[in-house]
A and B are shown apart, each in its own frame.
Chain A
Amino acid sequence: MNLRETIRVAVRALGRNKTRAFLTALGVIIGVASVISMVAIGEGAKAQVEQAFASMGSNLLVVRSGSSSSGGHRGGAGSLPTLKWDDLRAIADPSQVPAAKHVAVELRASGTIQSEDANWQTTIYGTSPEYFVIKDWDPVSGTLFGRSDVDGGRKVVVLGQTVAKELFGLSDPVGSIVRIKGVPFEVGAVLEAKGQSAMGNDVDDAAIIPSSTFQARIQAGLAPYVNGTIYVGAGSPEGVSRAEKQIDALLRDRHRIGQGEEADFTIRNLTEMAAASQQGTATLTSLLAAIAAVSLLVGGIGIMNIMLVSVTERTREIGLRMAVGARPRDVLLQFLVEAIVLSFGGGAVGVMLGVFGAWRLSASFGWPMLIQPRVVLMSVGTSALVGVVFGLYPAWKASRLDPITALRTE
């Protein structure tokens, strides 16, 4: 008996009891569907995190006052800044830190911003034009402020999408006057939308002004010290680690801190942080996949159970087939193929269900739908394997039957 014939016989045998075949396959259907949708969720989460890190800018270093161990860089009220404006200038000097392509300071304060007929509580940032390059943040209208605006301490502001919408609705705010902490600023530009940060904050909820203006009008610093964060863009992943070493050496030298001693500043490599976070989501993915795989296993046990019942029920049929010439291997193959058809068929339906489920879930989370062909192939392959593994024992039992004993079974 050839394989095609065997498959035909198996499909016919299953067709005689469709409800049971469906219920048996249901275990595998659910198993495969959950593997596919769980992995898609995991991958979606990973992509979400990647996107969030990408929104912060790539190949980025963040330099802050305070040591990493003391947590001083969090900038609590009690902690004093240790980085000076001279340090910033040294980092920005290409002869001292050649790996740093762009350097920008970021000063922050929260405050109210007002238009003619609305006001909004937001975060006000003081920085320099390089900031927009480092963050890869372009205007959708107007022009960003330049070096001369910083040097001249001009009162211009660049608005994030959220602030622009809250204050001006759908109309273009460029050229309008807004008040920040009561001081009038001219809106120079509106930035493109960036969405959420890795921490879940709204990046677009921002009003960005020149750092000089920030110090003069919004929040005076402690003269020589930088009361904020320094961003360094390095252009490439290798550049980031070189810049990190160069800045560390430079600042230790300037602050007279020996190698191995605890520094009074912190350099954070965002590329590394993104990698660590991706590691976390990868773990999540494998955890979800493992749970789903267990349900596939349970589906396999269901198949074995039904196949055993089926062999018992069809003992007389097996006896008759043997009486007319079926060899033990013909019987073995017949039941094995039945189990495989069940599990493989279940797998195929499971794929459809899983893809649909992943699509619905990703739609409700607002994530990109990520279904890897690899995962689909693997789960279908696994379901077929489940059929082999769990179908083998019942099929073997059937093939071992003695023809006359089987025929006489009631």
Chain B
Amino acid sequence: MSAPPPGPALIAVRGLVRVYRSGDVDLRALDGVDLEIHEGEFVAIMGTSGSGKSTLLTLLGGLDRATSGTYHLAGEDVTTLSKNRLAAVRNKLIGFVFQSFHLLARTSAVENVELPLIYAGVRAAERRKRALAALEQVGLSGRAHHTPAQLSGGQQQRVAIARALVNGPRLLLADEPTGNLDSRTSLEVMALLQGLHRAGHTVVLVTHEHDIAAHASRVIVMKDGKIVKDEVQEPVQAVVPP
């Protein structure tokens, strides 16, 4: 991929600051971030541990609020939304994938995937249909009624990706999604994310591994809460060895 696609940005961040206050020490985890991401991009955010990657992704995901700065998602100013409106944004516009999967224990895969649809007010039959379709998309149709304990780490992360996809979000965010997986399973997950990107999804991924970032079409590097590098690259195709 070459230059980012034209048109209005899906994500537009200006002067974003996030200060953590512990005791009487202020820690600027984000120190003035400016960033634009367009629809259809596959962005990897890199940087050393503690550089502020997760903090940025959390803010992009509407899970936390910035100390200052603005964040427009699909043209809407997210920084000033009420708790209820922000919940609706997380529900409809954003799919979030976590390093530690965060699946509900003792709950089947399909029920885990249904969760966002419950809060979207989708009726039970329709919910089940869409959740099963999302599981098929991640190649887990055969495991719909397995609980997390009955699934491997890679399978669990694919369930989590299905959950992130199920409500048709505009933006897919993943914070070190391969951090808990071995290299082969990591490759499977990256192949899945690349496939989703090819199908038109906007993907923003946090990782500290170059191998993983290589699959993205744009790499942003952070240091001490600032963006220090932002480059477009030719993505390496994730091919799972037979």
Tell me which of B83, B102, B167 contacts A327 (CB under 8 A): B83
The reply to whether A324 and B64 form a contact with Cβ atoms under 8 Å apart is no
Rounded to whole Å, the gap between the CB of B82 and the closest CB of chain A is 10
Q: Does B90 contact A (CB under 8 A)?
A: yes
Determine chain B's interface SS by DSSP, over half rule: helix
The reply to whether A326 and B84 form a contact with Cβ atoms under 8 Å apart is no
Tell me which of A326, A403, A404 contacts B119 (CB under 8 A): A326
Q: Does A316 contact B (CB under 8 A)?
A: yes
Chain B residues within an 8 Å CB radius of A5: 118
The reply to whether A404 and B87 form a contact with Cβ atoms under 8 Å apart is no
Contact A320 to B102, CB < 8 A, known contacts A325-B90, A325-B91, A325-B92: yes
Contact A324 to B84, CB < 8 A, known contacts A316-B102, A404-B64: no
**CA separation between A199 and B83, bound complex, in Å?**
70
- A-contacting residues, B67-102, CB 8 Å: 83-84, 87-88, 90-92, 96, 98, 102
The reply to whether B83 and A323 form a contact with Cβ atoms under 8 Å apart is no
Contact A326 to B87, CB < 8 A, known contacts A404-B58, A404-B64: yes
Chain B residues within an 8 Å CB radius of A326: 87, 119
Q: How many residues of B contact A (CB 8 A)?
A: 24
The reply to whether B83 and A324 form a contact with Cβ atoms under 8 Å apart is no
Chain B residue, CB-CB nearest to A322: B87
Rounded to whole Å, the gap between the CB of A21 and the closest CB of chain B is 14
Q: Does A402 contact B (CB under 8 A)?
A: yes
Interface string of B169-201 (1 = CB under 8 A from A): 000000000000000000000000000000000
Q: Does A330 contact B (CB under 8 A)?
A: yes
**CA separation between A317 and B102, bound complex, in Å?**
8
- B-contacting residues, A140-168, CB 8 Å: none
Chain B residue, CB-CB nearest to A405: B64
Chain B residues within an 8 Å CB radius of A317: 104
Rounded to whole Å, the gap between the CB of B106 and the closest CB of chain A is 6
The reply to whether B118 and A323 form a contact with Cβ atoms under 8 Å apart is no
Chain A residues within an 8 Å CB radius of B120: 325
**CA separation between A16 and B96, bound complex, in Å?**
26
Q: How many residues of A contact B (CB 8 A)?
A: 23
Q: Does A321 contact B (CB under 8 A)?
A: yes
Tell me which of A9, A16, A324 contacts B90 (CB under 8 A): A324
Chain B residues within an 8 Å CB radius of A322: 63, 87, 90
Q: Does B115 contact A (CB under 8 A)?
A: yes
Tell me which of A2, A327, A402 contacts B84 (CB under 8 A): A327
Number of CB contacts from chain A to chain B under 8 A = 62
Tell me which of A9, A16, A402, A407 contacts B98 (CB under 8 A): A407
Rounded to whole Å, the gap between the CB of B176 and the closest CB of chain A is 14
Q: Does B215 contact A (CB under 8 A)?
A: no
The reply to whether B63 and A324 form a contact with Cβ atoms under 8 Å apart is no
Rounded to whole Å, the gap between the CB of B107 and the closest CB of chain A is 8
**CA separation between A317 and B112, bound complex, in Å?**
11
Q: Does B163 contact A (CB under 8 A)?
A: yes
- A-contacting residues, B23-59, CB 8 Å: 58
The reply to whether A328 and B90 form a contact with Cβ atoms under 8 Å apart is no
Tell me which of B63, B119, B167 contacts A330 (CB under 8 A): B119
**CA separation between A322 and B96, bound complex, in Å?**
11
Tell me which of B58, B106, B121, B163 contacts A324 (CB under 8 A): B163
Interface string of A295-330 (1 = CB under 8 A from B): 000000000000000000000110111111111111
Chain A residues within an 8 Å CB radius of B115: 320-321, 324
**CA separation between A316 and B92, bound complex, in Å?**
21
Rounded to whole Å, the gap between the CB of A5 and the closest CB of chain B is 6
**CA separation between A1 and B106, bound complex, in Å?**
21
Rounded to whole Å, the gap between the CB of A84 and the closest CB of chain B is 90
The reply to whether A325 and B104 form a contact with Cβ atoms under 8 Å apart is no
**CA separation between A9 and B102, bound complex, in Å?**
18
Chain A residues within an 8 Å CB radius of B64: 402-404
- B-contacting residues, A270-311, CB 8 Å: none
**CA separation between A2 and B124, bound complex, in Å?**
11
Rounded to whole Å, the gap between the CB of B62 and the closest CB of chain A is 8
Q: Does B154 contact A (CB under 8 A)?
A: no
Tell me which of A2, A321, A327, A404 contacts B63 (CB under 8 A): A404
- B-contacting residues, A386-410, CB 8 Å: 402-404, 407
**CA separation between A347 and B119, bound complex, in Å?**
30
**CA separation between A71 and B163, bound complex, in Å?**
88
Chain A residues within an 8 Å CB radius of B83: 327-328
Tell me which of A325, A404, A407 contacts B116 (CB under 8 A): A325
Chain B residues within an 8 Å CB radius of A330: 87, 119
**CA separation between A325 and B104, bound complex, in Å?**
15
- A-contacting residues, B156-173, CB 8 Å: 163, 167
- B-contacting residues, A1-36, CB 8 Å: 1-2, 5, 9, 16
Chain B residue, CB-CB nearest to A12: B107
Q: Give B contacts to A, CB under 8 Å.
A: 58, 61, 63-64, 83-84, 87-88, 90-92, 96, 98, 102, 104, 106, 115-116, 118-121, 163, 167
The 21 sampled A-B contact pairs (Cβ below 8 Å) are A1-B119, A2-B121, A5-B118, A16-B106, A319-B102, A320-B104, A321-B115, A322-B90, A323-B61, A323-B102, A324-B91, A324-B115, A324-B163, A325-B87, A325-B88, A325-B167, A327-B83, A328-B84, A403-B64, A404-B58, A407-B98
- Known contacts A325-B88, A404-B64; can you find 15 more A-B pairs with CB under 8 A? A1-B119, A316-B102, A323-B61, A323-B96, A324-B91, A324-B115, A324-B116, A324-B163, A325-B116, A326-B119, A328-B83, A329-B84, A330-B87, A403-B63, A407-B102
Q: List the 10 closest A-B pairs by CB distance, nearest first.
A: A325-B91, A325-B119, A324-B116, A327-B87, A404-B63, A404-B64, A327-B84, A403-B63, A320-B102, A326-B119
